[in-house]
Amino acid sequence: MAARPLIYPGSVDAAGRPATLGVLGGGQLGRMFVHAAQRLGYLTAVLEPDAQSPAGLVSHHHIQTAYDDPAGLAQLAGLCQAITTEFENVPAQALQTLAHTRPVAPGAAVVGIAQNRIEEKAHFTACADVSGVTCAPYAVIETPAHLQAVCTERPDLLPGILKTARLGYDGKGQVRVQTADALAAAWAELGGVACVLEKMLPLTAECSVLVARGWDGQVVVFAPQRNVHVDGILALTHAYEGAVPPPLAARAAAAAVAIAQHLDYVGVLCVEFFVVDDGSAHGGLVVNEMAPRPHNSGHYTLDACSASQFDLQVHAMTGLPLPQPRQHSPAIMLNLLGEVWFDASGQPQEPDWQAVLRLPGTHLHLYGKAQARPGRKMGHLTITGPDVANVKAVARRAAELLNLPGLDFM
């Protein structure tokens, strides 16, 4: 396995080649990682099959090939001194192959856990004693016998949400079920693939925590942020003191750190939690899932913090010290999906950026995607300001200008 790195910005290797960082995946997370690496003086290389990918268009090198292509992986390893991934569905075996010759963070084993809800929930259960939280009650369904056993022996899991074990994200691969008959029909509709059935809980809020951990075990953590989802896709992030009640925020931060430590994780990890109505003053905390990478809910850190989640990803993978990020402004982040580029009748329209950018404290980030379509993440808008009331007022007005209905700014 490759040794732990210490790769200084602007340094060169024994052959005189400048320090280059690699990333598998060419989406917007890769693009923002590339920008962070380049600000520190690193060259970058992106392995991504799409010729017009957001990250590939801004990187020094774009290796246009499949994620598991041996020649492409060899080229990436030859160019780079350390490598990361920008999304969890890159083949874990590709990361394992790269790790034979280069430091890879996060590692293949951790990414493999995050790719499979069954393994992910088993991990959360295994570290519940140290994290202080567990996941929602659930059952694994991989065979007709499992389905029958759940229907007859676990009626307490209904109503529930049936989720595919693999390749489910942004609400995809999920079906809400009320009865045993509906569960059987939903499993058939999903193709009879491996799934988990989660008990539906009385949610009062959702929150997430970003943790960065280095090769040496150093850990820093961002304050928890409160998230609002619409149709399973993140729509809004509240990031300011009090967005998550302090006792709950402390528990969530400690749990996320414990989960990262238990995995011996390296890089930025996002852990998502449900807040449930359990009769206590602030509600109970249930871990939902984790993302082994920077996360949509952490984009506000680009504009509201002394170091962003992407800065910390660069520091972690290169062995540089991890600065404790300081949030200097309250912030709200609006996710901009493809719907913003269409009017009420479905005709294409250009958003009124002039009106939006006249608002104080607005920071627009567009991802360089040529074609807008419903549900596609095209960019985000972060609003910062001197106080929470100001930020909420501006965010509310921005949402009106962008025709983003029904968002919770409380």
Q: pLDDT tens digit string along 38-57?
A: 999 999 999 999 999 999 99
210 bridge partner residues = 270
Residue 3 has pLDDT above 90, yes or no: no
The reported pLDDT for the residue numbered 15 is 72
Residue 65 has pLDDT above 60, yes or no: yes
Average pLDDT of span 315-326: 96
Q: Peptide bond preceding 159: is omega within 30 degrees of 0, i.e. cis?
A: yes
Q: pLDDT tens digit string along 92-135?
A: 999 999 999 999 999 999 999 999 999 999 999 999 999 999 99
**d(C-alpha 377, C-alpha 234), whole Å:** 10
The reported pLDDT for the residue numbered 171 is 63
Q: Which of 86-90, 112-116, 249-253 shows the lowest mean pLDDT across its residues?
A: 86-90
The Cβ of residue 318 has, within 10 Å, a number of other Cβ atoms equal to: 24
Of all residues in the chain, what percent carry a pLDDT higher than 70? Answer: 97
φ, ψ dihedrals at 115, nearest 5°: -75, -15
φ, ψ dihedrals at 322, nearest 5°: -95, 110
The reported pLDDT for the residue numbered 17 is 76
Q: How far is CA 254 from the centre of its chain?
A: 19
Average pLDDT of span 10-29: 88
Q: pLDDT class for 168, splitting at 50, 70, 90? A: low
The reported pLDDT for the residue numbered 167 is 74
Instruction: Write the secondary structure of the chain as one string of H (helix), E (strand) and C (coil).
Output: CCCCCCCCCCCECCCCCECEEEEECCCHHHHHHHHHHHHCCCEEEEECCCCCCCCCCCCCEEECCCCCCHHHHHHHHHHCCEEEECCCCCCHHHHHHHHCCCCECCCHHHHHHHCCHHHHHHHHHHCHHHHCCCCCCEEEECCHHHHHHHHHHCHHHCCEEEEECCCCCCCCCEEEECCHHHHHHHHHHCCCCCEEEEECCCEEEEEEEEEEECCCCCEEECCCEEEEEECCEEEEEEECCCCCCHHHHHHHHHHHHHHHHHHCCCEEEEEEEEEECCCCCCCEEEEEEEECCCCHHHCCHHHHECCCHHHHHHHHHHCCCCCCCCECCCEEEEEEEHHHHECCCCCECCCCHHHHHHCCCEEEEECCCCCCCCCCEEEEEEEECCCHHHHHHHHHHHHHHCCCCCCCCC
* Arithmetic mean of pLDDT over the chain: 94
Which residue positions form the known binding site? 117, 163, 168-174, 198-201, 206, 229, 288-289
Q: How far is CA 137 from the centre of its chain?
A: 23
Residue written as token pair 């939690």: 273
Which residue positions form the known binding site for ATP? 117, 163, 168-174, 198-201, 206, 229, 288-289
Residue 2 has pLDDT above 70, yes or no: no
Q: How far is CA 229 from the centre of its chain?
A: 13
Go through the domains of the chain in sequence order and give each one's CATH number: 20-104 (3.40.50.20), 137-199 (3.30.1490.20), 203-401 (3.30.470.20)
Residue 310 has pLDDT above 70, yes or no: yes
Q: Which of 26-40, 137-151, 270-284, 300-314 shows the lowest mean pLDDT across its residues?
A: 270-284
Average pLDDT of span 376-389: 97
Residue 262 has pLDDT above 70, yes or no: yes
φ, ψ dihedrals at 360, nearest 5°: -70, 140
**d(C-alpha 268, C-alpha 281), whole Å:** 31
The reported pLDDT for the residue numbered 99 is 96
The dihedral region occupied by 254, where left means phi > 0, alpha psi between -120 and 50, and beta the remainder, is alpha
Average pLDDT of span 255-281: 92
Q: pLDDT class for 410, splitting at 50, 70, 90? A: confident
What letter represents residue 29's amino acid? L
pTM of the entire predicted model: 0.94
Q: pLDDT class for 231, splitting at 50, 70, 90? A: confident
43 bridge partner residues = 20
| End-to-end alpha carbon distance in the chain | 49
The reported pLDDT for the residue numbered 280 is 66
The reported pLDDT for the residue numbered 170 is 61
